[in-house]
A and B are shown apart, each in its own frame.
Chain A
Amino acid sequence: MKGKFLHFITILSLLAVTLSASAKENTPQEQIKINGTIKNEAGEIVIGTTIFIKEDSLIGTVADENGHYTLTVPVGSTLTASFLGYQTLERRVLKGIHRYDFILKEESQTLDEVIVIGYGEVKKSDLTGSVSTIGSRNFSDQPVKSISDILQGRTSGVEVTTISGMPGAAAKVRVRGTTSINKSSDPLYVIDGIISSSGLDGINPQDIQSMEVLKDASSTAVYGSRGANGVILVTTKGGEQGRARISFDAKVGVSEIRKNYNLLTPYEYAIALNDIKGNIVSDADLEAYRTGEKGIDWVDLMTRTAITQNYNLNVSGGAKRVRYLISGNVLDQEAVTINSKYMRYGVRANIDADVRRWLSVSMKLNGSILHQKNGAPNWFHVLNFSPTMELRDPVTGIYNNDPYNIGTGYNPYGVMTENYSDSYSYNLNANGRLLFKIAKGLTLSVQGGYDYNHSPSYAFSSSKLAPGATSSMSNSSAMHRYWQNTNNLAYSGTFNGHTISANAVWEMSGVKDTALSISGSGLSNESVGYWDVGNAAVRSESNGYTESSLLSGIVRLNYDYKKRYFVTAAFRADGSSKFQKGNRWGFFPSAAVAWDIAQENFMKKQKVVEHLKIRASYGVTGNEGISAYSTLGMLSATSYGWGTSTGYTGYWGNTFATPDLTWEKTTQYDVGLDLTIHGINFSFDWFKKSTVDLLFQKQVPSYNGGGTFWVNQGALDNTGFELSLNTFVVDRAVKWETSVNATYIKNTIIDLAGNDFVLTANYSDLGGPMQIMKPGYPLGSFYVYDWVGFNDEGANLYRAADGSLTTSPTSSDLIIKGQATPKWTLGWNNTISWRGLSLNIFFNGAFGMDRLNMSRFTTASMSGVSRFITLRDAYFYGWDYVKDKSKAKYPSISNTDNKSFANSDFWLEDASFFKLKNITLSYMIPRYVTRFAEIHLSVSAQDVFTITKYKGMDPEVYSGYDGLDYGAYPVPRTFTFGVKLVF
């Protein structure tokens, strides 16, 4: 707590300084009394519009129920009319003019809005491809902590899955489906024109002005070899000319786990143990478990109410030729499990200057420190450890292993209390640009970016964890350096209705990674923790180096005639060092056409259709995502002690060279429609993405030593459509803006390098492979036994391939069922506002997906890893316990013929869900009321409730392969209180 107060006080004192500075400015000017009416384009009165002076927002008022206002302002000031959902309008107050009426234009219709596309910008109305935009207003009042929080549910075509509820954990983001099997299907993130190579964790979401998601190939193909998974362009905020704006924002959240398994109490567990395994718990102990004198509630022991604090300070402004933004951010997020937390400290400085008539420069610097203190506990152990055991030996103080259930694995409480670890990430992202205005319409942008990332981590493990456990420590340090140089020659011009814009880009980039690590075990004195490797009896060390580079050239031409007919064509060539000579270069063409029908003369007369545009595009993108040196078949290093504690390093040929490897290619077709009728904006896209020459890890038969090797074989299809809809449902004094987006994706494996199928998610101790890849089926298909019920002795009965029933199925009886990725994803965002009050309700959902609930399997079955059960229903509704056998929900655990498989559809559950992801009520008090600052107060809740049939803790998260919930960390429910001051 002490640390948190320090953050708070530092930020407050910073504020005090800025406040006292801002109080000084005061110059006498001629005052004028003005008035006016505010209406929208439909001629309706807009009540509650804020009218204020841009230069001094202390002077302002709110339009009354007639849409009327009066105000006394200095002559020459800028009168600003602002209302949520509308574009903010400005007018200059002139001497002698007293009436200023405003007609507000709805913001969502703003087709003049400029959208960032790769290597350029276009007006939204000129778009030929499929690009979604998320502006800061879509999330500004919500307690988003990461970029994936922003992306989730807020735009069509983007599927975000929160894989873990652990603070700082990465989410899975897919743009139009999974396009690669063994290589990353993560989208490419580009921050202000520089490719993000070290992750987005260091970016403060509050610094983001907008995000554009490039989805179709004509948009992504300019990113060539890295564009196949979609591209997300992040634009950070900049300063604006005018009075400096200071904004301070503090949020405090309280989180708890939402749902738990119903597990056996210590007393019940003891009874079950005696019942099933023989009398192993004595009467005395049994009594102690009954009275609660003994026994452990593991979930209670391992969880807590967690506090999250998030502070942002943002100062921006600018003079005529220079604009600046400086921001700072502190995030301190506790995990809902004990002793873990995640912290982020960030600063940003963005400076833009027009230094000459022909030259503008900009510099964007972002620095951040991320700190993960202790990792997540092993949830599988938390759920399965016996409640009837002693936490530690009373004499030695050593933590006990689980005597009845978990065979291999340390006491989870011991792990989280005796061990500790710290992982840091120090990031510096520098991004500089020179923009030369060579001639009218002709510019050259020379941009350089450098990402520096240093990630040291430290861990200590105690010998107190278990009898015979060895203490150990490790320090490791990974250094990541990425540089990029992009030179973009751009031209645009209009002649007689013909508009041409063209780009020629030359780009180079390189990545260098080095790593260093030392570890030791058998510490002679554990008090030194991880800070004295010399104290360790046995030491190991390792280091490593990888480097790769990419060379690229791009040309693109955009043409339109009278803003009606649009054509875009682009071509990119990429050379990658990861492939060997002859296979290095990949070529990625693309093209798109669009017809803006609403601009045709014949459409001008009607009033129904306000906007109508059809689009079509085609393009090729690639994937080069293998790691450096993958094709060379280098030797594998091992270490053996020959019976001693000394490590002897050895090398052997465990991998195979693959010199013929080259790019994975994805072609994509897209047809889209944008339509506005009666104020309802509607957008539709159909797409088909076909990936061929998959970078595929073909399995090596076990008799060849097992493992995998890289081939360019295999094909994968993703087809689907996206819908988005946006409108003002109520547009009066109370405004209700709603937007819905929905995405349907069908993923199909076409070919698997000639294999009939490939088994994946192999858990040798739980029944074998849990999933299968097979042509005709989607990725993440489960491969399970078809469970039909129990036999007369309570053993599981499965359907065999010939239709008969068996208690002992073989591999030929496995069936393909269910899929891990959702067919439908849905986002529904609502903002209801009235005067200064605003209510945001945001739902997201995913449908048509399954999870293999291995957590339930292990708690309910005696498996390779759990020798007993902990789930209440598995005992009290187990075959052995229930009198009326038709009521049995779980098989007999005493029947030796019973076979339990994790890969059985008994544990395969429909994980479709609909979540109230966020609800925020905020109230804004304008500056002219408080006389010193605009104040936003907000109270909100995240992950409030989930409608699902899933029996586990959270349908969304998973921990193994694709959709296997094997002790996955659930997303907690959080209540957040926020205050934001704008000076």
Chain B
Amino acid sequence: MKKILYILLVSSLTFTACTDFLEENPYGKQSSNNFFSQKEDLAASLNALYSVVATSQAQNNYVGTNFLAGDDISTHPGSNKQPLREYDQYNITDNNSWMLSLWEQRYKVIKAANFIINNASRTPDVSKEVIDEAVAQAHFWRAYSLFYLVTTWGEVPVMLNEEINYNAKVWSVEDIYTQILSDLEIAEAGCPVTYSGAPYHNGSMNVAVSKPAVKAAMAYVYMCMAGWPLNKGVEYYTLAANKAEEVIDLVDSGTYQYRLLDNYADVYSVKYTQSNPEVLLGIFYHRDRTPQMMPLTDLPDDIAYGGWHDTQGEIKYWKEFPEGPRKEATYLPKLPFKDGANVVLHDWWYDNNGTRKSVAPVFNKSTESATRGEEFDYTSPLAPPQFGQKTIQVIRLSEVYCWYAEASARTGVVTNKAVDVLNRVRNRADGAVSNRYSIAMSAEELAEAAYNEHGWEIAGYYWCGFAPRARDMFRMNRIKEHFEIRKKNEPIEVVDGSGIFRKEVLDVTGEWDDSKMYCPYPYADTTFNPNLR
């Protein structure tokens, strides 16, 4: 009996000994409240922000589908491209299966940015400048995402805090632009001209957002505000021209270390992907760490190595594209087809006796070789990889030149500087000092020339470019014009006098109305929030 009592005593002791038995000790995990308590946390928060940014742009269903509205680009008529076709055919449904990601990824970036914007200021042991630098970058990416949202959906909820809000109100387009500008102003003040050292600078390029990139972005945002739907006109074109001019002057004076590459063929090359002097803002990938999924997306599915055929070029745009090195680099020069063990090259309009399902030009900006560091060789039957590491180019210097020329001309003036920078762009595209543009042009002519040059510079490149062709058409309210052209779908003689006619394989039907300018809200979110219905 004594023993039993002893046992009882011992076991009861074990119960009372552990008063904090039920307390949690989450070793190795950090709480939101304890973060930004060391200066290293600041760098870690930026790693997370850029990781979220990189993920949000790494595959085309996250980033690029709505740019199919542009007149430069279309998609496959069959295969699995149903969600993509809806954009190209101006008939997007709220259940479009690729649209939710497009929407959600922008807000994920905003959430990661808000974490820094709302908390980083408490970081101890660092100068205000260092904190401001981090916060400024976060403001840029928030503005970038809001800009994407407002140009794709119009009125949307704007989240400035990390919260869950089932009744978030949508903001007016005007208010969203105000928010974007206020974010960009903070970014402009805080981002450095250039970073020193890894990982924000890779030795030749800024990897993180720099002041020149922010200024360039502001220029384009002003242009969009000047155009549809706010139509703020000359006042904002002036602001845009001034901001673009700041960048141009500081580049010309050597304060900003940017310049155009001599050959257009190098612009999207593998060779310059980590050292492109004209990229003001890029998003960086590596096959071993955060790869992107670009290489196969634009390649047709019926050529020698079978791409995903998410996109193809529109024929009219290709036809009107000025000949020269720029066109040669923008499209695949020939398409390789298999003939037994051999590869035979054909022009894109080759239709194999009418059996090819989609006969269209093919863009060649996202491709890269399976062998690292090598350029894509369209004549080789070696298949490209699914995962790639080309830097995604968000803003290039040649775009800023075009914006400056267009914005200043739309204020009604033609300046030497505008003509000069636009000639820089075109001369390179021609591969010769053609100086096609002159001070003798009317402001209207110069503006349109710049508008077109910008389109050709970035044609077919929808990878989260800040200003893809579709967005240019959007701000100029010209999508409806293209809608009518696509509806008519007249055959186009591919080479004058050849007698070979091709037309778009995807039909556009129905009547235009301005609701087609925007995507519908994804229904996953309309089910939560009555304000989105």
Query: Which residue numbers of B lie inside 8 Å of A, CB to CB?
Result: 1, 3-4, 7-8, 11, 14-15, 18, 21-32, 35, 41, 43-52, 54, 61, 77-80, 82-83, 85, 91, 93-95, 97-98, 100-101, 103-104, 107-108, 110-112, 115, 156-157, 159, 162-166, 168, 198-200, 202, 207, 274, 284-290, 293, 296, 301-302, 305-306, 308-309, 337-340, 351-353, 355-357, 369-372, 382-387, 389, 391, 505-507, 522-525, 527-529
Most B Cβ at <10 Å: residue of A284, A444, A654: A654
On whether the beta carbons of A278 and B357 are closer than 8 Å, the reply is: yes
List 5 A-B pairs, Cβ < 8 Å. Answer: A470-B288, A653-B35, A700-B164, A705-B104, A759-B524
Pick the contact of A867 from B98, B290, B301, B528 — CB < 8 Å?
B301
Pick the contact of A651 from B23, B48, B108 — CB < 8 Å?
B48
CA distance A653 to B163 in the complex (A): 11
Contacts of A467 in B (CB 8 A): 370, 382-385
On whether the beta carbons of B305 and A702 are closer than 8 Å, the reply is: no
Query: Which residue numbers of A lie inside 8 Å of B, CB to CB?
Result: 274, 276-280, 282, 284-285, 358, 400-404, 407-408, 434, 436, 438, 444, 446, 466-470, 485, 487, 506, 508, 521-522, 537-538, 543-549, 551, 575-578, 584, 628-629, 632-654, 656-657, 699-706, 709, 755-757, 759, 762-769, 808, 810-811, 814, 862-868, 893-894, 896, 899-900
Q: How far is the CB of A407 from chain B (nearest CB, A)?
A: 5
Q: How far is the CB of A141 from chain B (nearest CB, A)?
A: 44
Q: Given the known inter-chain contacts A470-B288, A650-B44, A764-B101, please indicate yes or no for A408 contacting B386, CB distance below 8 A.
A: yes
Q: How far is the CB of B55 from chain A (nearest CB, A)?
A: 8
Pick the contact of A278 from B11, B21, B199, B355 — CB < 8 Å?
B355
On whether the beta carbons of B506 and A896 are closer than 8 Å, the reply is: yes
Which residue on B lies nearest to A652, using beta carbons?
Answer: B48
Contacts of A522 in B (CB 8 A): 288
CA distance A485 to B15 in the complex (A): 10
Contacts of B385 in A (CB 8 A): 466-469
5 A-B pairs with the lowest CB-CB distances in the bound complex, closest first: A468-B385, A643-B284, A650-B47, A650-B48, A641-B289
CA distance A657 to B33 in the complex (A): 11
On whether the beta carbons of B31 and A649 are closer than 8 Å, the reply is: no
> Apart from A446-B7, A468-B369, A628-B26, what 14 extra A-B contacts exist at CB < 8 Å?
A277-B302, A446-B11, A468-B372, A468-B384, A548-B24, A584-B22, A638-B47, A640-B290, A642-B198, A642-B284, A701-B166, A704-B107, A704-B159, A896-B77
Contacts of B26 in A (CB 8 A): 545-546, 628-629, 632, 634
CA distance A485 to B17 in the complex (A): 14
CA distance A522 to B288 in the complex (A): 8
CA distance A759 to B523 in the complex (A): 10
Which residue on A lies nearest to B30, using beta carbons?
Answer: A635
CA distance A709 to B166 in the complex (A): 13
Q: How far is the CB of B237 from chain A (nearest CB, A)?
A: 32
Q: How far is the CB of B424 from chain A (nearest CB, A)?
A: 28
Q: Given the known inter-chain contacts A521-B288, A648-B47, A652-B112, please indicate yes or no for A702 contacting B383, CB distance below 8 A.
A: no
Most B Cβ at <10 Å: residue of A282, A864, A894: A864
CA distance A407 to B525 in the complex (A): 29
Q: How far is the CB of B288 from chain A (nearest CB, A)?
A: 4
On whether the beta carbons of B100 and A764 are closer than 8 Å, the reply is: yes
Most B Cβ at <10 Å: residue of A545, A650, A701, A756: A701
CA distance A382 to B356 in the complex (A): 27
Contacts of B112 in A (CB 8 A): 652, 654
Contacts of B41 in A (CB 8 A): 651
CA distance A274 to B7 in the complex (A): 83
Contacts of A759 in B (CB 8 A): 524, 527
Contacts of A863 in B (CB 8 A): 80
Q: Given the known inter-chain contacts A401-B386, A639-B51, A701-B166, please indicate yes or no for A894 contacting B207, CB distance below 8 A.
A: no
Contacts of A358 in B (CB 8 A): 4
Q: How far is the CB of A798 from chain B (nearest CB, A)?
A: 12
Contacts of A274 in B (CB 8 A): 355
On whether the beta carbons of A862 and B288 are closer than 8 Å, the reply is: no
On whether the beta carbons of B301 and A400 are closer than 8 Å, the reply is: no
On whether the beta carbons of A576 and B22 are closer than 8 Å, the reply is: yes
Contacts of B24 in A (CB 8 A): 547-548, 577-578, 628-629, 632
On whether the beta carbons of B285 and A643 are closer than 8 Å, the reply is: yes
On whether the beta carbons of B107 and A647 are closer than 8 Å, the reply is: no
Which residue on A lies nearest to B385, using beta carbons?
Answer: A468
On whether the beta carbons of B95 and A768 are closer than 8 Å, the reply is: yes
Most B Cβ at <10 Å: residue of A646, A768, A810, A865: A768
On whether the beta carbons of B28 and A543 are closer than 8 Å, the reply is: yes
CA distance A276 to B79 in the complex (A): 10
CA distance A487 to B10 in the complex (A): 11
Contacts of A704 in B (CB 8 A): 107, 111, 159, 163-165, 168
Q: How far is the CB of A468 from chain B (nearest CB, A)?
A: 3
On whether the beta carbons of A862 and B305 are closer than 8 Å, the reply is: no
Which residue on A lies nearest to B94, using beta carbons?
Answer: A811
On whether the beta carbons of B156 and A703 are closer than 8 Å, the reply is: yes
CA distance A284 to B340 in the complex (A): 7
CA distance A634 to B30 in the complex (A): 6
On whether the beta carbons of B80 and A705 are closer than 8 Å, the reply is: no
CA distance A764 to B97 in the complex (A): 5
Which residue on B lies nearest to A864, using beta carbons?
Answer: B80
Contacts of A632 in B (CB 8 A): 24, 26, 29, 31
On whether the beta carbons of A634 and B288 are closer than 8 Å, the reply is: no
Q: Given the known inter-chain contacts A468-B384, A508-B21, please indicate yes or no for A642 contacting B111, CB distance below 8 A.
A: no
On whether the beta carbons of A276 and B52 are closer than 8 Å, the reply is: no
Contacts of A862 in B (CB 8 A): 78-80
Q: Given the known inter-chain contacts A628-B24, A648-B199, please indicate yes or no for A403 contacting B306, CB distance below 8 A.
A: yes
On whether the beta carbons of A703 and B157 are closer than 8 Å, the reply is: yes
Q: How far is the CB of B287 from chain A (nearest CB, A)?
A: 6
Q: Given the known inter-chain contacts A408-B386, A862-B79, please indicate yes or no for A506 contacting B527, CB distance below 8 A.
A: no
Contacts of A577 in B (CB 8 A): 21-24
CA distance A376 to B168 in the complex (A): 45
On whether the beta carbons of B95 and A810 are closer than 8 Å, the reply is: yes
On whether the beta carbons of B93 and A808 are closer than 8 Å, the reply is: yes
On whether the beta carbons of A651 and B35 are closer than 8 Å, the reply is: yes
Q: Given the known inter-chain contacts A538-B289, A704-B165, A764-B101, please indicate yes or no for A811 contacting B21, CB distance below 8 A.
A: no
Pick the contact of B357 from A277, A485, A649, A705 — CB < 8 Å?
A277
Q: Given the known inter-chain contacts A444-B4, A547-B25, A584-B22, please indicate yes or no for A702 contacting B47, CB distance below 8 A.
A: no
On whether the beta carbons of A702 and B52 are closer than 8 Å, the reply is: no
On whether the beta carbons of B288 and A645 are closer than 8 Å, the reply is: yes
Q: Given the known inter-chain contacts A634-B29, A764-B97, A768-B95, please indicate yes or no for A651 contacting B7, CB distance below 8 A.
A: no
Which residue on A lies nearest to B29, using beta carbons?
Answer: A634
Q: Given the known inter-chain contacts A639-B289, A645-B288, please indicate yes or no for A651 contacting B383, CB distance below 8 A.
A: no
Which residue on B lies nearest to A439, using beta carbons?
Answer: B1
Which residue on A lies nearest to B31, using beta carbons?
Answer: A634
On whether the beta carbons of A404 and B48 are closer than 8 Å, the reply is: no
CA distance A282 to B352 in the complex (A): 11
Contacts of A900 in B (CB 8 A): 82
Which residue on B lies nearest to A892, using beta carbons?
Answer: B78
Which residue on B lies nearest to A704, using beta carbons?
Answer: B164
Which residue on A lies nearest to B389, using beta carbons?
Answer: A643
Q: How far is the CB of A412 from chain B (nearest CB, A)?
A: 15
Q: How far is the CB of B379 from chain A (nearest CB, A)?
A: 16
Q: How far is the CB of A73 from chain B (nearest CB, A)?
A: 45
Which residue on B lies nearest to A359, using beta carbons?
Answer: B3
On whether the beta carbons of B49 and A650 are closer than 8 Å, the reply is: yes
Pick the contact of B29 from A629, A649, A763 — CB < 8 Å?
A629
On whether the beta carbons of B78 and A893 are closer than 8 Å, the reply is: yes
CA distance A400 to B54 in the complex (A): 28
Most B Cβ at <10 Å: residue of A280, A468, A578, A763: A468
On whether the beta carbons of A866 and B80 are closer than 8 Å, the reply is: yes
On whether the beta carbons of B528 and A701 are closer than 8 Å, the reply is: yes
CA distance A656 to B305 in the complex (A): 46
CA distance A438 to B4 in the complex (A): 7
Which residue on A lies nearest to B83, using beta carbons?
Answer: A864
Pick the contact of A703 from B103, B162, B302, B369 — CB < 8 Å?
B103
CA distance A642 to B199 in the complex (A): 6
